Amino acid sequence: MSELNYHHLRYFRAVAHDGNLTRTAERLNLSQSALSIQIKQLEERLGHSLFERRGRQLYLTEAGRIALDHADTIFSAGEELVETLKETGRTRRAIRIGALATLSRNFQMEFLRPILGRSDVDMILRSGSTSELLGALEALNLDIVLLNQAPMADSVTPFIAQHVYQQRVSLIGKPSYGKPGAKLADLLAEHPVILPTLESGVRSQFEALVARLGITPQIAAEVDDMAMMRLLAREGAGLAVLPPIVVKGELEAGTLVEFDALPGMIESFYAVTVKRRFPNPLIRPLLEASEDGKSTTA
């Protein structure tokens, strides 16, 4: 049996992602006929049609979708190998870290602490939405992603989510709001609250808590960014429902006060990687330090 021609597979992959033979031929500096021949030869080798034409566009057949999944895996692995082995012998190594745009900066700094200041490490930090970050991780453009919810994994994209940290969630506000230790029901009855948006796991926990207590709090703001919640709390807009780590500096300085830990409420943080043949060795010290320092009350 003849071996698979990987040049044919590379050309097929390019056309599959472009969805247009003419555009791909121009990009690869080939004639359309030459490119068509390459695709035809691959189809003959595999014994299946890989495309069907609808007007000027090409659409993958079922066999084409299967072939593209394998082609992406093959060439991504090759690109990963080249990038990994390029690092051999270098005195500095890069690690590409993505974090949810709304994630606590204080948590991110604590997570990165094991490699901060190392002269042999280049950190490339990116922020974005969950879908953007996981897409970049899957494409091997990021080494690790920090999220506050574990992503769903399947056999096609086997994300590995390690629970690296969790912390109680508290009511936090300016000292003028009262003394620490005041009753939760009194605080929620007297002061408006700054809440995460409905998509947040913390928000759903809070809604369940106030339902159990029979309280309908006044909402000052709904915010999807912890940094903005921190600023609103500092301005006295209300009591913020936050993990204390988000306002660590303000609590230490006394500009904000932790009034009460909300019973049963926690914020979890996850470090997400994807299965790789050549994982970045800098990931290990980050995860090991997180495992050693994991706490529910930090």
Quote the CA–CA distance of 194 and 196 in Å, as a whole number.
7
pLDDT in tens, 269-285: 999 998 877 788 899 98
Shared fold status for 92-165+269-293 and 166-267 = yes
Domain boundaries, the chain: 6-85, 92-165+269-293, 166-267
pLDDT in tens, 107-126: 899 899 999 988 888 899 99
- Report which DSSP code applies to 255: S
- CATH number assigned to the domain covering 6-85: 1.10.10.10
| Least confident interval from 8-17, 39-48, 244-253, 274-283 | 274-283
> What 3-state DSSP class applies to 136?
helix
- Residue among 263, 269, 2, 298 at smallest CA distance from 148: 269
What kind of fold does domain 166-267 have according to CATH? D-Maltodextrin-Binding Protein; domain 2 (3.40.190)
- Considering the four listed CATH numbers 3.65.10.10, 3.40.190.10, 3.10.580.10, 3.40.50.720, the one that applies to the domain covering 92-165+269-293 is 3.40.190.10
Q: Residue 297: pLDDT above 70?
A: no
pTM above 0.75, yes or no: no
Determine the distance from the C-alpha atom of residue 60 to the mean position of all C-alpha atoms in its chain, rounded to a whole number. 29
Residues 6+ away with beta carbon under 8 Å from 251? 172, 244, 257, 258
What percent of the chain is predicted at pLDDT more than 70? Answer: 91
